[in-house]
Structure 1
């Protein structure tokens, strides 16, 4: 577990996943985003800068910055004469995000297979061993390690815009998925997919690796959608 904590501290991707100008703004961003994802800020609720600043003990300037960041990630919508409001985190929103991942991630993976070193593969195997040691017992740790696993593959890609888009969308899905657990079937599939992906990378098989990643991303998105459907049905009943 000590090695896993090292990954928790490591800066992912070498890019700023949030784009916040200061650490305090980054913390404010996470707090407001969590309020949206958890439902404490309801869908379509107006986001008044002064109210949010008071709620979080902040000045108005970082709140305005955070709302623009959240707008860029799709959590907040701005409309003329009405200002900012919370975008509903509905199934269409999640579907759109994971479908973009299905398009982007195979391309990033295919490039990585062509340049992966023995050190890269060793790092993937190390992170995977930590994922399996944790075995989903600590879901926050699993999320961090899973993100690190895929970051190893994408972090050096020459197209930084594509890598940043992947990161931003992954952060959205991570934030939403924290409301749900993993089914036993999904747990087994994640472990299996990661092992197979490492094997494809070792073999230099870019096509199979890319196809696997497309299925993996789609499976993750569908897993979240199924949880959301079940939650909606339970609330309706």
Structure 2
């Protein structure tokens, strides 16, 4: 199980410094390892300049996250990063994040609310000019809400899903309409937290997660349509 990254220490990992798991995962997301391609441990170890054990461990972790499919006598293969893959993750997150949010609203202090408002102010001032910086601020915003939750399994699953979706969405530009929605949803969430409206906050978070999911799926559909058109031409 992954360890939850401490608050305010979320950093993108440089490819050269990334773990074997991260490098294989990014190769799958970026298409350098193609959908349904067989993953041979010895070849991956040679490519990554490591022994076979870290590769085996990475493939098991990737299998647990759905990136890799393992079949008896057929080895490991790359699972397509497609609409179904993203939909499955978001359907889980729509269940997890509202539950985490309800708990937070009952616990939130004035200092918590001030910290969230500070982060929201930084995101609004940035206004998506730097997608990497926005992603870090947004991650910290949600960590303030979830990081103290007693159910570490739920928080860990949220964290792993967030990492996966962030890695996928790095390839896409956020549309203007989605940018507006993100900031508006955060503002409404802050209003609900200040009013101790747990149900309202949970509803906004569910809407927030669904919107992010639709945005990624729309980009994946565009990519698929372009590929299909290229094959026909």
TM-score normalised according to structure 2 size: 0.89
Q: Distance in 2 between matches of 1:191 and 1:13?
A: 21
Structure 1, unmatched stretches of 5+, are: 1-9, 17-23
Q: Distance in 1 between matches of 2:6 and 2:63?
A: 22
Which secondary structure state, in structure 2, belongs to the residue aligned with residue 193 of structure 1? Answer: helix
Q: Distance in 1 between matches of 2:211 and 2:59?
A: 30
Q: Distance in 2 between matches of 1:98 and 1:121?
A: 26
Q: Distance in 1 between matches of 2:84 and 2:72?
A: 23
Match of 2:221 in 1: 229
Deviation at 1:167, TM superposition (A): 1.1
Which secondary structure state, in structure 2, belongs to the residue aligned with residue 39 of structure 1? Answer: coil
The answer to whether the aligner puts 1:38 opposite 2:30 as a matched pair is yes
Q: Is the 8 A contact 1:37 1:176 kept in 2?
A: yes
Calculate the aligned-residue CA RMSD, in Å.
1.9
Which runs of 4 or more aligned residues in structure 1 lie more than 4 Å from their structure 2 counterparts after TM superposition? none
Q: Distance in 2 between matches of 1:26 and 1:229?
A: 29
Match of 1:106 in 2: 98
Q: Distance in 1 between matches of 2:225 and 2:36?
A: 21
Deviates more, 1:117-126 or 1:188-197: 117-126
TM-score normalised according to structure 1 size: 0.88
Structure 2 residue aligned with 1:220, among 212, 217, 225? 212
Q: Distance in 1 between matches of 2:90 and 2:77?
A: 23
Structure 1 residue aligned with 2:164, among 169, 172, 175? 172
The answer to whether the aligner puts 1:143 opposite 2:130 as a matched pair is no
Residue correspondences, number: 220
Q: How does 1:107-122 map to 2 (within 5 A)?
A: 107-122=99-114
